[in-house]
Structure 1
Amino acid sequence: MTRSTLTTPPPEAQPPKPHPDAPPPGSRLGSHFSRCFGCGADHPTGLHISAVTPDGADVEAAFTVGESHQGAPGLAHGGVLAAAMDEVIGMSIWLLRKPYVTARLETDYLLPVPVGTTLHLRARCTGIQGRKAYLEAEGRVGAPDGPAAVRAAALFIEVDMTHFAEHGDLEAIRAEHQDYEVNP
């Protein structure tokens, strides 16, 4: 995958350091918001991505393309595939137990993904420099070792929880993230 310099960690970037409260290897990762399009169980047409961390650093998940995820007849919409990449990348940075937002997402589409196909996703953080996190993900068709259908590289920026309070629904944030101090 060719990545821009914006999503490639600079030489001085450090490997991510696991947070002491991060889920241990083998743990299932919960949704960060019940109505999230990517991982929320309460979103009626969402991706409903559920993930595990096999090693405490990477994230693995599976997503089955449904009828509501079509672009061309019978094929996954490219934006839906990009959303799946963004979601699994976001789950991998969540292992650091700090709030981040997507600053840049580069997505390469390698194969068409038909409706009904299960896409096996894997993501990891490749470096941290200051508030910047560099990440990558891959989606494979049919099995974790199947052919690669989509790849992504991303730059995420660490933010304070007030970012979400100022730009989102403060009461919903407080209800779902009681472990964080959220003040407008």
Structure 2
Amino acid sequence: MKHAIKGRQPNSRMCFVCGMDNRYGLQSRFYELDNGEIVACFRPADEHQSYPGRLHGGIAAAILDETIGRAVLNHQEDELWGVTLEFSMKFRKPVPLDQEIRVVARLVEENKRSFCGTGEIILADGSVAIEGSGRYLKMALSKITDAEFKEEEWRVVEPGDADPTELDLPDRR
């Protein structure tokens, strides 16, 4: 099912998952969809493997957790982020290194202080490789870290010619 991209979420400079200047990181791009979900897109590199040709499970956990934690940004006026309280995963298939991977996440429950979300790592053929769910505390970025975030550290990267305007995702409902 095709979904229009309604916005792009910020990237940092050095975060392992979204840092654009972290040469060992995933350099993931995060998109807000018209249906309220968040999608992360990335291509794993050889440095991200466990068994030859396979994404390391810990790295799969990092991208899935970050994507679910960002789902709250799409549903509120304040810039509150999700800080992980609980997280679990179910591995269904190995994630190969030689293709772009998409991670889809959504809120399933929300209150004033916290939220719960679910997500999946989707392979190029549309199949679900890993499912995850978590509970997150809502926090302002200024409360999460002592470091001051300057525009160079945290910004929305302008879309390039290769950025999609819509994404085709399998129906998971």
CA-CA distance at 1:56 after TM superposition = 6.2
TM-score w.r.t. the length of structure 2 is 0.76
CA-CA distance at 1:116 after TM superposition = 1.1
Contact 1:100-1:158 at 8 Å conserved across structures: yes
| Residue of structure 2 in register with 1:84 after alignment | 63
- Find the aligned partners of 1:76 and 1:48 in 2 and give their Cα distance: 15
Q: State the percentage of identical aligned residues.
A: 25
Larger radius of gyration between Structure 1 and Structure 2: 1
| Residue of structure 2 in register with 1:35 after alignment | 14
TM-score w.r.t. the length of structure 1 is 0.72
| Residue of structure 1 in register with 2:165 after alignment | none
How many residues of Structure 1 are paired with residues of Structure 2 in the alignment? 148
Is the deviation greater in 146-155 or in 114-123?
Answer: 114-123
Distance 1:56 1:34, change over 3 A: farther
Structure 2 gap ranges (5+): 156-173
| Residue of structure 1 in register with 2:133 after alignment | 153
- Runs of 4+ in structure 1 off by over 3 angstroms are 160-163, 174-178
Tell me which protein shows more strand as a share of its residues.
Answer: 2
Contact 1:49-1:63 at 8 Å conserved across structures: yes
Distance 1:91 1:99, change over 3 A: closer
5 Å matches for 1:1-184? Answer: 26-31=6-11, 33-55=12-34, 57-95=36-74, 96=76, 97-143=79-125, 146-161=126-141, 163-165=143-145, 168=146, 170-171=147-148, 173=149, 176=153
Distance 1:99 1:114, change over 3 A: closer
